[in-house]
Amino acid sequence: MTLEPFGARLRRAMDERGPLCVGIDPHASLLADWGLSDDIDGLERFTRTVVEALADRVAVLKPQSAFFERFGSRGIAVLEQAVADSREAGALVLMDAKRGDIGSTMAAYAATYLDPASPLFSDAVTVSPYLGYGSLRPALDLARESGTGVFVLALTSNPEGAEVQHAVRADGTSVAATMLDHLRAENADAAPMGSYGAVVGATLGGSLGAARAELDINGPLLAPGIGAQGATAADLPKVFGAAVRDVVPNVSRGVLRHGPDAAALRASAERFAAEVREAVSAVDPAAG
């Protein structure tokens, strides 16, 4: 099975459902806030509630694999069901796994998330390039073959990331800019948008500096940090400039804290999506 390229499917989903990605992050503290137990039953109830409330209306759902893996095989079974149910309801699923390795191991990670025969088959996956961008080739190639997408960590919002991402190579190019250059090449000539994205924190603001000019990669920019981490939809044009129309803002706790009430979850997601659409249309009226 080969799908329509992920970039085209993502553009259509954002245009039709609003430019928003909602994380499915079942932290132990969030389970407690919902009145749920920190066990497999609590995990299953939390996940089912989020999927049933949002999968038929948001563009992207992004389960964080680690919060399911901590429950072992039963947690993975909940994740498999969430992926299948979300995709059946029309949401694109971005698996937040941040995998990175070399050779056959990277190929196995790629097959786990990007092979249509896998129980965890998702529309896209996050990957870490810090064993060298070339180490990602198995995932990049399988994504192209299967019509899925890859989001590469480039300019993350955690302060520790700067020591690697802002490091400068012998030619004067930062590591982050190098990753963005690679992605731009992967997305060359794709329309309406490439399938190879970058993760760029929405909280970075002025610290992006000259890197802002590198953000036009003809592909999606996953932007964590909206909501609980302090960034707002209104910040997006300031952070991303002309590339803002390709931004996929990610909200997790900002939406999930309104659970377990399904109507409140939907209302929060719709509010965030409307705010993002308004902010983007101020820069690109055609996106309104």
Catalytic residues, which ones?
Answer: 98
Closest by CA to 107, choosing from 62, 80, 141, 74, is 141
Three-state secondary structure along the chain? CCCCCHHHHHHHHHHHHCCCEEEECCCHHHHHHCCCCCCHHHHHHHHHHHHHHHCCCCCEEEEECHHHHCCCHHHHHHHHHHHHHHHHCCCEEEEEEEECCCHHHHHHHHHHHHCCCCCCCCCEEEECCCCCHHHHHHHHHHHHHHCCEEEEEEECCCHHHHHHHCCECCCCCEHHHHHHHHHHHHCCCCCCCCCEEEEECCCCHHHHHHHHHHCCCCCCEEEECECCCCECHHHHHHHHHHHHHHEEEEECHHHHCCCCCHHHHHHHHHHHHHHHHHHHHHHCHHHC
d(CA 72, CA 80) in angstroms, rounded, equals: 13
d(CA 84, CA 176) in angstroms, rounded, equals: 33
193 φ, ψ to 5°? Answer: -160, 145
